[in-house]
Amino acid sequence: MSDSVESGKAPGFKVAAMASAGAAVEWYDFFIYGTAAALVFPKLFFPADLPPFMAQIASFSAFAVGFIARPIGGMVFGHYGDIFGRKRALVFAMFLMGISTTLIGLLPSYSSIGVLAPLMLVVLRIAQGLAVGGQWGGAALLAIETAPKHRRGFYGSFVQVGVPLGVVMANSVFLLVSSLTTDSAFMDWGWRIGFLLSVILIGIGLAIHVNVSEPAAEEGALAPLESAEKRRSPLAEAARGHWREILLAGGAFVANNTCFYIAITYAVAYGTATMGIERNVLLYAVMVASILMIPALMACGAISDRYGRRGIFLLGALLSGLWAFVLFPLIDSTEPLQVVIAISVALLFIAMMYGPQAALFAELFPKSVRYSGASLGYQIGATVGGGFAPIIATALFARSQSNLPISLYLAAMCAVSFVSVLLLARRARTRPQTWTD
């Protein structure tokens, strides 16, 4: 495979950079909801007489709905992307995300329209979940399928960088707006600014549509239009022929997704509500950790090109499981530096898994079903891992008044991922090669 999409067209590096930009804004949209769910939504979109614990659970439940929708988005967009091309599916997912996030910023509060407020919030969160469920596969495959074969891990990490970039942008907007407004103004209208800014994603989608070409077809693979005529369901083909890889890919992803959302979402809610840490301290901690994660992701992707995907992934799962028992004692200290260290180290260990993940997942499937298979595996892991993690952690702490059960929960998820990657490695030694260069 050459460095270009097609002769004379966008080079692989340009495609990877544009996919990263799109992923960053898409994840910004997804994460700004998570930050708002921890800090704002419990007070705005649910009854005022609801106990704080129940309001937080309700807010995180609406957060989780987006994760439930993600596998459906992965299936729908994966099917579409395998038949009609990665770019079309990616651009449509970006439009859906941009529109739904902007509409969240326009929603009336519970005090204005009553029960319709949380219902509309859930509907738009489902739309966000569908969009991000389709976005990752399109962005990752655009980057990886245009990359030199010996740089797939590195190019794939560009899309993974979109996650911490999205976190940094989301928290930056919250910090900037909160610093320029009073608390009452922030709760009244200031939080909406970050959601309304998501219209930028529509512009990036248009730029990708105009400037990026489809990856060149691998030898023997069906072209998009020919594929549409000859194959009815790449999704069914992936589920029938590669169900073990899909399930193991989902298992591989649960650790970094669970640990990630505990670190950037639950920790913010826990630190402010339970430990009395200032909101801005936690937001800055998440930002610093996310900034450090960016070069770590790219380094881990590059290392996986040289030494293999699975070794660094396994080490990341092991270290993340151990760090789970250090994370909360550091946060409980309430010292800003220790809080920063707690979240930063957690995200650096997660980068060891997430950096090579795009290439690892893409290499599990042949191109004819790659969008469907990789997306579905990724989104199953996201739903099982990240979607319910803040709710589970909140409930575990409420029941035990201790963080030890949460640490054990994180360690168990890391063990699931460790075993899943080992099983993927075993299957890789026995199945035919899925990538044609």
Annotate 203-215 with DSSP letters as a single string: HHHHHHHHH-PPP
CA pair distance 87, 80, nearest whole angstrom: 10
Q: Closest by alpha carbon to 143, among 97, 86, 98?
A: 86
| 43-72 tens-digit pLDDT | 888 887 778 778 878 887 887 788 788 889
- CA 69 from chain center: how many Å? 13
**Amino acid letter for position 81:** G
12-210+231-428 belongs to which CATH class?
mainly alpha
- DSSP 8-state class, residue 17: H
As given in the structure block, the two tokens for residue 209 are 């549509």
What residues of the chain score a pLDDT lower than 50?
1-10, 218-230, 437
CA pair distance 176, 12, nearest whole angstrom: 35
CA pair distance 278, 39, nearest whole angstrom: 11
Residue spans per domain, the chain? 12-210+231-428
Which residues lie closer than 8 Å to 332 by C-beta, 6 or more apart? 275, 403
As given in the structure block, the two tokens for residue 27 are 């994840």
Q: Taking each helix axis as running N to C, give the angle between helix 234-241 and helix 52-84, from 0 to 180 degrees, rounded to the nearest 10.
A: 100
- pLDDT computed for residue 346 by the predictor: 97
Exposed / middle / buried, residue 179 (Cβ in 10 Å: 0-12, 13-18, 19+): exposed
| 365-375 tens-digit pLDDT | 888 889 888 88
**Amino acid letter for position 324:** A
As given in the structure block, the two tokens for residue 52 are 């704080």
Q: Taking each helix axis as running N to C, give the angle between helix 309-332 and helix 279-307, from 0 to 180 degrees, rounded to the nearest 10.
A: 160
- Residue with token string 């700004």: 32
Q: Which residues pair with 4 in a beta bridge?
A: 11
- DSSP 8-state class, residue 429: T
8 A C-beta contact, residue 353 and residue 316: yes
As given in the structure block, the two tokens for residue 186 are 């922030």
Query: What is the pTM for the complete model shown?
Result: 0.82
- pLDDT computed for residue 11 by the predictor: 55
Q: Closest by alpha carbon to 139, among 92, 79, 76?
A: 92
8 A C-beta contact, residue 94 and residue 131: yes
Which residues lie closer than 8 Å to 78 by C-beta, 6 or more apart? 89, 134, 137, 234, 235, 238, 371, 372, 373, 374, 375, 376
- pLDDT computed for residue 214 by the predictor: 65
Q: How many residues does the chain have?
A: 437
Q: Closest by alpha carbon to 214, among 90, 79, 374?
A: 90
Which residues lie closer than 8 Å to 130 by C-beta, 6 or more apart? 69, 70, 72, 73, 76, 93, 96
Cα maximum dimension of the chain? 63
CA pair distance 84, 235, nearest whole angstrom: 13
8 A C-beta contact, residue 231 and residue 83: yes
Q: Closest by alpha carbon to 149, among 427, 363, 299, 369?
A: 363
